[in-house]
Structure 1
Amino acid sequence: MRARVVQWGVAALALALGVWGVVPTDPPASCAGGETRAVWIATVQNIDWPSKPGLPAAEQQREYRTLLDDVRRHGLNTVIVQVRPTADALWPSPYEPWSHWLTGEQGKDPGYDPLAFLVDEAHARGLKFHAWFNPFRVSRQADPAQLVPEHPARQHPDWAFAYGGQLYYDPGKPAVREFVTDVVLDVAQRYAIDGVHFDDYFYPYPVEGEQIPDAGTFAAYGGGTDVADWRRQNIDELVKGVSERLSALDRDIAFGISPFGIWRNEAADPRGSATTGIQSYDTTYADSWTWVRQGWVDYIVPQIYWEIGHPSADYAALVPWWAGVVAGTRVQLYTGQAAYKVGGSPAWGDGELAAHLTLDREHAEVRGQVYFSAHSLSTNAAAAMERVKADHYSCPPTGNA
């Protein structure tokens, strides 16, 4: 009833304005139906929150409240918070230990439920909360003995491999994919989150001179397929499985992924973009084109972390390409924005982010932006975000994430 009254009120106002000879202007495109204006809040290496491991709970909470107030001040409406940075947890998980990025010691109880606090504080400010999971990274060092004895990677040593000085769960193991899905669903079922989010790390990014040590897994589960196709199928199975499990819940939880900004170059695939950079399809075995076309995700956030005019990966070329990928699907497209680059080079002046949004507005498929990361918005990118807010975020920060 209230919505109908508001609609009548607007109509009456428009009629009155017409009578008086004033023609009301259409709202900006960014106001039509709402848009997602989000920021990534990274916990790994204490990039954004908490500022260092082992802070008292009251100090952790104070920092987070301040961060959320800044998010609102920038005109944003959604936070994507990393709750599982390295096969650990920012909640009392039955599967994995407490995160040392939080407490300073893996497995140490912080004395409260951080995730419940994170969600509640976001919702109290009208912000949507997406829980961000890194699916396969176990540790940023390579020695399993440095993990707590009860860690799944020590309980199941065949689940993990070392590569590039880090530890990873092996995506080729069906038990691993099922385990990761169970971890995600634990949060989805127990907490009032609005979304589940994966970042761009699936198989590890290539390290020169090293081969991914999954030959034994491929021999056991590859079924005679090409190893690259098999790896992509493993990631597809994870994405599809999480999507199906979330869809079976009795409430709506959005599922989104932020892949590397280049799927494939057109020189390698006629469906690819007019770029010449590394390709997530061939490096991390992330077939984001298929995830969108199959409808396994609700939104996609390509990390288009290059400036307009970049010689190998031009932002102005990638936005229309990704718009074409989602066209005709139900999948929402948000552009991933490299706020951390502002001020780092002549190409990244204070006006670059605002220019990105101007270009975004030319493509109806673009339904919002996500910025990496929260710390930058109030430091190196503070002036840039003031321009973004003035030029593009004049409407109230209500969204559809």
Structure 2
Amino acid sequence: MKNYLKQSKFWLLACIASLALVTACSEEEPVEEPSGENLILDFKIEGIDVTTGVQIDHEGGTVKDSLPVGTDLTSLVPIIEVSEKATISPASGEAKDFSSPVVYVVTAENGANKIYTVTLSVKEEVIVVEKSDDNDINEFFFSEIFIRGKIDGQQISGSVPYGTDITNLKVSLDIHEKASVSPAVEEPQDFTSPVTYTVTAENGETQSYNVSVTEQPQDVGVRGVWLTNVDSNVLTSKQKIDEAVALCDELNINTIFVVTWNKALTTYPSDVAAEITGKKIDPLYEGRDPLRELIDAAHAKDIKVMAWFEYGFAAYNGSPGPILDNTPDHWKARDVNGNVVVKNGFYWMNAFHPDVQQFMIDLFTEVVTNYPDIDGVQGDDRLPATPSEAGYDDYTVSLYKADHDGQEPPATAKNTAWLRWRADILNKFGKALYDSVKAIDPNMVVAHSPSPMSFGYDEYLQDYTTWVAEGYSDIVSPQLYRRENQGLNIYKGLLSNQYNMLEPAGQKIFYPGLLLFLGGYLPSQQFIADMVQANREIGVQGEVYFFFTGFQDPDVQEVMKAMYPTKAIYPEL
């Protein structure tokens, strides 16, 4: 029995052991599958510490980043973090050229690939520009009448011609491109009282300007124009003369200086000219009297007429011409070498010889006698004048020797004393001419339009300040012919220079010549207006325009009407 129990216990223990072994075998750990993760988790560039805001789109397979200003994309080293157990190609840390997109392949542990396209760009430089505080008015115009306003701090003043309607003026102004102005320049304003303009800068700062307008006194002066037969057909018919006079009247011009003597011909029937040239009048006007026609037409409009002896002592242009061909040798101006004097193409008469001087006086007095209702006569840059190269003819040399103990004239044409001696002869002629005209009609005006001093003196022996000071010039209109490309300040400087050479009495008869048209040149409306206003600023109340053809331009007509809205009072001379 005991043996049986021992055997049974042994058997039971064996079974329990076998069962435990079977159970242990059934709990063995499972085999792990390879990972399929293949993502780019982070993307950085070596050496760039700033946060760049990389954008990783796993679904779209893109990586985008914007790098700092100035980054060179052609050689960057990316630091790329990918999924655990994944690999990437090209490898992290491998320098690449990112100036165009770069493709990366991320391979998972299980071999699955995912493609990412990496696109890098460089941020644009952000320039912070402060808003402008410029609220200045740089220029101010009363635009429709071409008048510039004068700016003095926050005060702007405008001086407008007599008769201007100041109740409805438009303005224009120059301000910063990002500034604004109120009231708007498109709105006409009534300037009978000051008007305030407020300029607002880009940054909101404002500045106010008080604009006032004053009306100039009515002009008492000569508003003239030269009417020529060169580059103009006005004198070819009475109808054209009437039309020209009507236009002058419309533009409030009160004086016409009409060509009477040029090209060795006259524009009126002349016995004096016929004696020398054989022609009583320019053949173009045969059978007519343009001077008479003009006087009648102009006087009907209360416009003065002056006979303009354009060529003066210049005999002809381009050749000696009929005067020098038909007169004795002493009529010819001679230079130091004994040649006939030619300057700027013009052949010159001997202005120092009494016969030549008398011929010119006879032309003037013929007009004064035959046209007693004409208002005046005028010499210009060729009368009294002669080139400073002249004076070496036998007559003038003998005259010089008689005054200088037998000495020869200086061989240098512009020797100071030699210039003065010859200019004095011309001055004496100028007085003789003046006295001859006044002997016929004391009320006849004797006018002159010389070249500016000192050019006129050095080149043509013209000493017009003496003519004015000694009282044998009733109107002086120096030819201040300055073009627009020379600038307004050049004109102003010349104007001031010539005006200040005269005493107050002489300044009252000073009406400068302005260049309006020549060979296609035509100044802008603003430049014309600026020259007129420059004259008014120094007290000059008139001017003479060279020449009429410019008046036929519509733009010129517009500015003339703005400058001369009413008639001027003709001065007492």
TM-score, with structure 2 as normaliser? 0.53
2:436 aligned residue: 245
1:371 aligns with 2:545: yes
Secondary structure at the aligned position of 2:447 is classed as strand
How far has the Cα of 1:353 moved from its partner?
A: 0.9
Q: 2: CA distance between counterparts of 1:79 and 1:50?
A: 13
Which letter maps to 2:331? W
Q: How does 1:330-349 map to 2 (within 5 A)?
A: 332-340=509-517, 344=521, 348-349=523-524
How far has the Cα of 1:370 moved from its partner?
A: 0.3
Partner of residue 384 from structure 1, selected from 556, 566, 572: 556
2:216 aligned residue: 29
1:39 aligns with 2:210: no
Q: Does structure 2 conserve the Cα–Cα contact (< 8 Å) formed by 1:50 and 1:60?
A: yes
Q: Structure 1 vs Structure 2: percent identity of aligned residues? A: 22
1:362 aligns with 2:537: yes
Segments of structure 2 that go 5 or more residues without pairing to the other structure are 1-191, 194-212, 334-339, 410-416
2:467 aligned residue: 291
2:269 aligned residue: 92
Rate the CA distance shift 1:311–1:100 in 2: closer, same or farther, 3 A: farther
Rate the CA distance shift 1:237–1:141 in 2: closer, same or farther, 3 A: same
1:169 aligned residue: 349
How far has the Cα of 1:344 moved from its partner?
A: 4.0
1:193 aligns with 2:374: yes
Rate the CA distance shift 1:130–1:30 in 2: closer, same or farther, 3 A: farther
Identify which range, 222-231 or 239-248, moves more after superposition.
222-231
Rate the CA distance shift 1:301–1:30 in 2: closer, same or farther, 3 A: farther
Rate the CA distance shift 1:311–1:338 in 2: closer, same or farther, 3 A: closer
Q: 1: CA distance between counterparts of 2:217 and 2:313?
A: 35
1:15 aligned residue: none
Partner of residue 184 from structure 1, selected from 345, 361, 364: 364
Which letter maps to 1:255? V
Query: Comparing both chains, which one has the higher relative contact order based on Cα–Cα distances under 8 Å and sequence gaps of 6 or more?
Result: 1
Rate the CA distance shift 1:143–1:388 in 2: closer, same or farther, 3 A: closer
Which letter maps to 1:399? Y
2:121 aligned residue: none
Identify which range, 227-236 or 178-187, moves more after superposition.
227-236
How far has the Cα of 1:28 moved from its partner?
A: 4.4
Size of the aligned set, in residue pairs, is 335
Q: 1: CA distance between counterparts of 2:365 and 2:478?
A: 24
Which letter maps to 2:440? L
Which letter maps to 2:312? P
TM-score, with structure 1 as normaliser? 0.74
Q: Does structure 2 conserve the Cα–Cα contact (< 8 Å) formed by 1:90 and 1:115?
A: yes
2:286 aligned residue: 110
Give 1 or 2: higher strand fraction. Answer: 2
How far has the Cα of 1:299 moved from its partner?
A: 1.2
Deviations along 1:213-234, one digit per CA (max 9) or x if unpaired, are: 7332321222336432232122
Rate the CA distance shift 1:166–1:333 in 2: closer, same or farther, 3 A: closer
Rate the CA distance shift 1:258–1:178 in 2: closer, same or farther, 3 A: same
1:275 aligned residue: none
Deviations along 1:304-329, one digit per CA (max 9) or x if unpaired, are: 11157947981111222333233322
Segments of structure 1 that go 5 or more residues without pairing to the other structure are 1-21, 52-58, 265-278
RMSD: 3.2
Give 1 or 2: higher helix fraction. Answer: 1
Q: Does structure 2 conserve the Cα–Cα contact (< 8 Å) formed by 1:335 and 1:370?
A: yes
Partner of residue 324 from structure 1, selected from 473, 476, 500: 500
2:448 aligned residue: 257
Which letter maps to 1:37? R
Q: Does structure 1 conserve the Cα–Cα contact (< 8 Å) formed by 2:227 and 2:258?
A: yes
Q: Does structure 1 conserve the Cα–Cα contact (< 8 Å) formed by 2:330 and 2:395?
A: no
